[in-house]
Amino acid sequence: MSYNNLLINQNNGICIITINRPNKLNALNKETIQELHEAIQDANLNKDVKVIILTGSGEKAFVAGADISEFAHFDVENGAKLAQKGQELLFDLVENLPTPVIAAVNGFALGGGLELAMACHFRVASSNAKMGLPEVSLGVIPGYGGTQRLPQLVGKGRAMEMIMTAGMVDAQQALSYGLANHVTSQEELLEFTQGLANRIMRNSSVAIAAAINAVNAGYKDGVDGYAAEIESFGNCFGTADFKEGTTAFLQKRKAEFPGA
């Protein structure tokens, strides 16, 4: 499938999805959000894809925010619908996807861009990356999950400061805050991230999907994360991957996971 705003590169189990609107610093508009939804769904359903990497085109930005021109004229009802639809189509989808999604943050990740990066399972940043939620400077708040995911990652106090000041943190601050897992040079960013993806792919994709579900359960209101872990743990015992993993361990050989 071809996309107007995305580049897709799939090779050796890794699908790299590049947001390709360099003239707009890869800002998210409705079309791009819809295309990301479709591309991520397609990658998730593709049995040959074990890890998804999200990044931005060019050297300046991962995603520099949302396309403000699309919603500057919205009223209260339309604003709420914008946030709800975006969360359902893309941000919640990414967070709960059973296929691991890594954000390779290659520059500015602001507003909706940082929200997209935070929805990913973890983040690798280039040394020139800048991250922030500047929405209050426009008279609005983050609407794609930023007020929820940022405190989970960096703590309530730091999240409040970042949101209320509308300021940016650089890559090293993001690393120290826990907002980024790793920082590399821009030249090494994709290679390093693919290295992490390769390490992930050595393991059971079935177990990884179960782990994603269990970890996320602990952050959902009304859900007992420990109970979710127990259920997912038990379910693993009924999988071919568990049989292969334990057999390979006992036979002192490398596991060849069927992933089904």
- Residues annotated as catalytic (active site), given as ranges: 115, 135
132 exposure class (CB count in 10 Å sphere: 0-12, 13-18, 19+) = buried
Residue keyed to tokens 């709420």: 80
Can you say how many angstroms the Cα of residue 197 is from the centroid of all Cα atoms in its chain? 13
Tokens coding 215: 């970890």
What are the beta bridge partners of residue 183?
A: 125
- First-residue to last-residue Cα distance in the chain: 25
Q: Extract the tokens encoding 90.
A: 């893309």
Residue 180 has φ and ψ, to the nearest 5°, of -120, 145
Buried b (16+ CB within 10 A) or exposed e, 3-35: bebbeeeeeebbbbbbbbbeebbbbbbeebbbb
Q: Is the separation of the CB atoms in 248 and 254 below 8 Å?
A: yes
Contact call for residues 111 and 133 (beta carbons, < 8 A): yes
